[in-house]
């Protein structure tokens, strides 16, 4: 087998692998920017107690500042918890990015999931560093649960 042909095939495979990953990362960047824009809209429009009901008893927009973790847990940690969550988010982003780079090209579900995770982690990390809390504003209702 011709070594130049092998080298060309390897170079093409590497470019293809990089191009697909770059596409996923560009998508993650777009989602991150949409996340930040939607949170800026919520802060400007909903911050002072206004709410927007989209589907009664199912979806509404209501501004909330969450200094804790998911579902409002661990909110009373002060400055320590803020920076602990920043470090935790950075570690999570690094782990997801590493997994993203190690995932085979043909596993689009995992690559897409990693891109979504990177966008979400980055959006919340930006809020936490810049503001000290994460802006939440989408409220989903299911019966008595929200």
pTM of the model: 0.77
pLDDT score, position 18:
73
The tens digit of pLDDT for each residue in 27-44 reads 999 999 999 999 999 999
Decide: 61 and 46 in contact? Cβ < 8 Å: yes
Confidence of residue 122 (pLDDT cuts 50, 70, 90): very high
Model confidence at 106: pLDDT above 80: no
Q: How far apart are CA 51 and CA 35, in angstroms?
A: 18
Give SS3 for 11.
helix
Does pLDDT of 118 surpass 90? yes
Phi, psi of 61 (to 5 degrees): -105, 125
Percent of the chain with pLDDT strictly greater than 90 = 40
Q: Is 99 helix (H, G, I), strand (E, B) or coil?
A: helix
Q: Where are the beta strands (DSSP E) in 11-125?
A: 51-55, 59-66
């Amino acid at each position: 087998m011709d070594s130049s042909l092998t080298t060309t095939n390897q170079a093409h495979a590497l470019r293809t692998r990089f191009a697909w990953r770059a596409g996923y990362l560009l998508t993650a960047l777009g989602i991150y920017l949409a996340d930040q824009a939607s949170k800026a809209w919520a802060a400007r429009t909903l911050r002072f107690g206004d709410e927007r009901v989209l589907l009664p008893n199912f979806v509404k927009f209501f501004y909330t500042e969450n200094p804790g973790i998911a579902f409002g847990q661990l909110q009373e940690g002060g400055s320590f918890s803020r920076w602990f969550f920043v470090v935790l988010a950075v570690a999570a982003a690094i782990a997801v990015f590493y997994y993203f780079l190690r995932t085979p090209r043909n596993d689009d579900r995992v690559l897409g999931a990693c891109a979504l995770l990177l966008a979400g982690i980055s959006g919340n990390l930006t809020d936490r560093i810049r503001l000290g809390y994460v802006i939440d504003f989408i409220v989903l209702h299911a019966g008595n649960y929200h």
